[in-house]
Amino acid sequence: MANQVVALLLLALTGANAAVLRGGDSDSMRPEMVANTLAKVEEEWRKEAAVFTEGSKSGASGAPDAFAHSCATVVSAVIQGSGGDRDVAKEYMNNVCGQKVLSGWHKQRCASLASRITEHAMLADNYANRQNLLPSKVCTSFWSVFVEAERTREADEAKEKAEHEKVVAEQEKKAAEAAAEEKKIADAAAKVEAERRAKVKAARDQEATELKAKQDAAEAKVRAAESAARLAMKKAEAEQVQREAQKKMKEAEAAEQEHKARQEEHEKAQEQLKNAVKSKPVEAPKEVAEAPKVAEKEIAAPKPAAKEVAAAVAKPAGKVEAAPVKADAKKPAVVVAVAAPAKVEAKADTKKK
């Protein structure tokens, strides 16, 4: 993992070399990307320092070598990227260490590394820096500084943590005491409030019960009145239906009696007609003989009374059909008797007398 991170840092630094020569702009060397990668490298160095100070003997012996390898790579990249120019390397490292990603202890370690490279290792001679500067020497001295700084930082962090935990414990204790006191006061107030609400609820429940009882009684009274009214209405309707039924029954009886009367009249008329047809011809007086045309007119256009009789005879109640009677010219007396039976019988009686 450490080798991969260092490779990324070396790639970032060497990739910037093409754009930066003497007098070049350090911003074009992508200091932000280099700072991001350097922060990861410092995390690896921190772990190696922790293994060296707190780990096993085998791990402690291997930690400086791993650190020296990655550190030498970084130092070589900075020197070669700056062309051995101490001022360029110093300006570039200040730019890298000033990036936002390097804050707190990361920024301190970056500044310490820059100081070891530009202030203690590099000379004013650019060529000598490129040819004679030993990165391993820079990293050896930087390792001691780094480990000591980590020990100090860890001690300071442990002290700050202990003090913070102490302050937090005191604050939590005070908060717990205050919460207990507040809870005690709140419980007492809640008890008083619960008793008050219980009394209010009991009074409201009693009032609601009494009100409901009154409402139920009033509603029962209204329902009883409505039931009595509906009963009276139904009784009146039943009586009205009974009266109408009786009326219809009487009308039916009257209609039946009328039907029977018409039936009897029809049967009587039929009987009279049969008797008139079967009886012998009667000698008509001169008045009757002289008035055949009048009889024919009467047959052709009977009087209203004759029409009613004919209708009663033809279609009486009970649907009894009367046999049709044909007028015969050879039998005038029969025709006269049918057309005007009352006159013929009167004249016949006069002749007999």
What pLDDT, on a 0 to 100 scale, did the predictor assign at position 190?
A: 94
- One pLDDT digit (tens) per residue for the chain, 353 residues: 445 545 545 555 544 443 443 344 445 567 888 888 888 888 888 888 888 877 655 556 677 878 888 888 888 888 888 888 999 999 999 999 999 999 888 899 899 889 989 888 888 899 988 898 889 888 888 888 888 888 888 788 888 889 999 999 999 999 999 999 999 999 999 999 999 999 999 999 999 999 999 999 999 999 999 999 999 999 999 999 999 999 999 999 999 999 999 999 999 999 999 898 887 555 555 554 454 554 455 544 445 444 554 555 455 444 444 445 444 444 444 434 444 444 444 444 444 44
| Co-location of 153 and 297 in the same domain | no
> Nearest 5°: CA angle at 150, between 148 and 155?
100
| Co-location of 6 and 148 in the same domain | yes
Residue 224 domain-assigned? no
In this structure, is the dihedral angle defined by the CA atoms of residues 21, 24, 27 and 28, taken in order, positive or negative?
Answer: negative
Residue 63 domain-assigned? yes
How many residues does the structure list for the chain?
Answer: 353
What pLDDT, on a 0 to 100 scale, did the predictor assign at position 182?
A: 92
In this structure, is the dihedral angle defined by the CA atoms of residues 235, 239, 245 and 248, taken in order, positive or negative?
Answer: negative
Residue 67 domain-assigned? yes
What pLDDT, on a 0 to 100 scale, did the predictor assign at position 191?
A: 92
User: How far apart (Å, rounded) are the C-alpha atoms in residues 61 and 37?
Assistant: 26
Residue 234 domain-assigned? no
Residue 193 domain-assigned? no
For residue 334, the enclosing domain spans 279-352
Residue 177 domain-assigned? no
Residue 313 domain-assigned? yes
| Co-location of 164 and 309 in the same domain | no
- Output the DSSP codes for 163-222: HHHHHHHHHHHHHHHHHHHHHHHHHHHHHHHHHHHHHHHHHHHHHHHHHHHHHHHHHHHH
Residue at which a domain ends, from 121, 144, 169:
169
What pLDDT, on a 0 to 100 scale, did the predictor assign at position 141?
A: 85
- Per the structure block, which two tokens stand in for 283? 């000698």
Three state DSSP letters for 94-116 = HHHHCCCCCCCHHHHHHHHHHHH
In this structure, is the dihedral angle defined by the CA atoms of residues 153, 155, 156 and 160, taken in order, positive or negative?
Answer: positive
Residue at which a domain ends, from 114, 134, 169:
169
| Co-location of 139 and 12 in the same domain | yes
| Co-location of 296 and 164 in the same domain | no
List CB contacts of 120: < 8 A, sequence separation 6 or more.
Answer: 138, 141
User: How far apart (Å, rounded) are the C-alpha atoms in residues 340 and 302?
Assistant: 9
The dihedrals phi and psi of 325, each to the nearest 5 degrees, come to -115, 125
Helix axes 135-278, 57-81, angle to 10 degrees: 90
List CB contacts of 157: < 8 A, sequence separation 6 or more.
Answer: none
Domain total in the chain: 2
| Co-location of 19 and 137 in the same domain | yes
Residue at which a domain ends, from 169, 204, 237:
169
What pLDDT, on a 0 to 100 scale, did the predictor assign at position 10?
A: 52
Residue 304 domain-assigned? yes
List CB contacts of 302: < 8 A, sequence separation 6 or more.
Answer: 310, 339
Of 138, 152, 18, 35, give the one whose Cα is nearest residue 94: 35
